[in-house]
Amino acid sequence: MRLILTLIFFAFVCIVKAEEVSVNFYSQQLRFVYSKDLLIKHRIRQKDKNIQAFYDKFNKSDYRKLLLQFKEYKDSFQLNDWFYYKLIQKTVDVIYYKKSSDYRAAVIWFLLLKAGYHARLVYDSELSLYVYSQDKLYESYSFTYDKKKYYNLSYYDNITLKRYKEVKFSAIKGIKNGKPFSFDIGNMPSLNKEQVIEREVTFAYKDQSYSFNIKINKSVIDIMKGYPKIETQKYFDIPVSDPLYTSLIIPLKELIKGKDEYEAVKLLLSFVRTTVRYKDDMEVYRSEKPMIPEEVLYYPHGDCEDKSALFFYLVKEIMRLPMVVLAYPNHVNVGVALDKAYGNPVEYNAKKYSICDASFDTDKEKIGDSPIRDIYEPKVIYSYDPWSKTGE
């Protein structure tokens, strides 16, 4: 893939008069070349005719080669839609650093359209870039139009939430609605640079203390900063990096050897409970901060969702037992289908799931112990069954 990019680079430089830029993309220095005719002289006005004129001018430029480079990097690094947008945004900010924020928003909008996405520009105090998505985000800046949900991208972290009484779109003729934008994470981008941090973890199980060193990929932590807040259940199926897998999963597999199913799950539960200290996100970050498993082991504290996500991942990766993620008013925990039900289990799809509440900070609570389960009937928001025909 890198060979293809290199060939494109030199071929493009030789054929046309081109500019070259270096873009820092999560500690990776990426090279882009672009035709000078992309530097279009046009003063952006928040009027449809003005935006139409900008679109028409840009459409006549040699934008396709730049778009091809974005696509090559997207495939090479396995970028999801959000990281693909960030790649475009960072590159546009470098190429058009002398231009206004409105101009840069219009360029990104154009490139997303040409990449096949359903994107719109919105008139406000600034020109804002929105994408249509079928996902659900929290603490987001969005609106619904024509039964479609649109989320702000270009100023996602900077705008105060408010309601629009009237929304004015740029209406460009001849543009069909594109594909919805996905915020699903799936796998982390496969970037070449890893910033490994070594950390000792200590946990208690049956009055005995265990400790070993784990290796966390700091690049993953940096990548997740500022990521839109997606639905809780989507954080439960994201794998850890290779350094963390080797240093975490292998030692835990050794520790559960020879233990029966209950004791093995209890050890993993005790690991999460006593390694990660509970603290509410609002107390620490003053807002909700959902975490993927790698982040849970990096930051000093985690709430019920974070600790449950880590526990869920460990049981899935090490033991492959059926599980459900359970939501209560202001609380989340996990149910595991063991060979025997414990406490007040939850029945789902003909299986009984014993509550494993990872939010405790001690080892004394048993599987099945969950005060909130005795008060509320939880809602299953995610399920995992390795033995079902459809998978999860």
Q: Is the pLDDT of residue 223 over 80?
A: yes
- pTM passes above 0.85: yes
Percent of the chain predicted with pLDDT > 90: 69
Question: According to CATH, where is 3.10.620 located in the chain?
Answer: 196-384
- According to DSSP, residue 227 is labeled -
The SS3 call for residue 356 is strand
Question: What mean pLDDT comes out for the span 344-349?
Answer: 96
pLDDT at position 390 is 47
Instruction: Please tell me the distance from the alpha carbon of residue 107 to that of residue 181, in angstroms, as a whole number.
Output: 17
pLDDT at position 13 is 47
For residues 34 and 95, the answer to whether their CB atoms sit within 8 Å is yes
Instruction: Please tell me the distance from the alpha carbon of residue 222 to that of residue 86, in angstroms, as a whole number.
Output: 13
Determine how many CB atoms are found less than 10 A away from the CB of residue 15. 10
Question: What mean pLDDT comes out for the span 226-238?
Answer: 89
* 4-to-8, 10, 342 alpha-carbon distances in Å: 6, 10, 57
Give tens-digit pLDDT for 129-158. 999 999 999 888 888 888 999 998 875 645
Question: What mean pLDDT comes out for the span 117-127?
Answer: 87
Mean of the per-residue pLDDT values of the chain: 88
Instruction: For residue 245, give the amino acid letter.
Output: Y
Provide the CATH number for the domain formed by 196-384 in this structure: 3.10.620
14: pLDDT confidence band, cut at 50, 70 and 90? Answer: very low
Q: Is the pLDDT of residue 29 over 60?
A: yes
Q: Which carries the bigger pLDDT value, residue 168 or residue 330? A: 330
Instruction: Please tell me the distance from the alpha carbon of residue 307 to that of residue 371, in angstroms, as a whole number.
Output: 17
Instruction: For residue 201, give the amino acid letter.
Output: V
Which helix (H) or strand (E) segment holds residue 210: the answer is strand 208-217
Q: Which carries the bigger pLDDT value, residue 286 or residue 156? A: 286
Give tens-digit pLDDT for 57-68. 999 999 999 999
Give tens-digit pLDDT for 241-271. 999 999 999 999 999 999 999 999 999 999 9
Q: How far out from the chain centre does Cα 103 lie?
A: 27
pLDDT at position 177 is 80
pLDDT at position 187 is 80
pLDDT at position 165 is 47
For residues 8 and 72, the answer to whether their CB atoms sit within 8 Å is yes
Opening angle at CA 341, ends 337 and 343, nearest 5: 120
Q: Is the pLDDT of residue 161 over 60?
A: no
Q: Is the pLDDT of residue 97 over 70?
A: yes
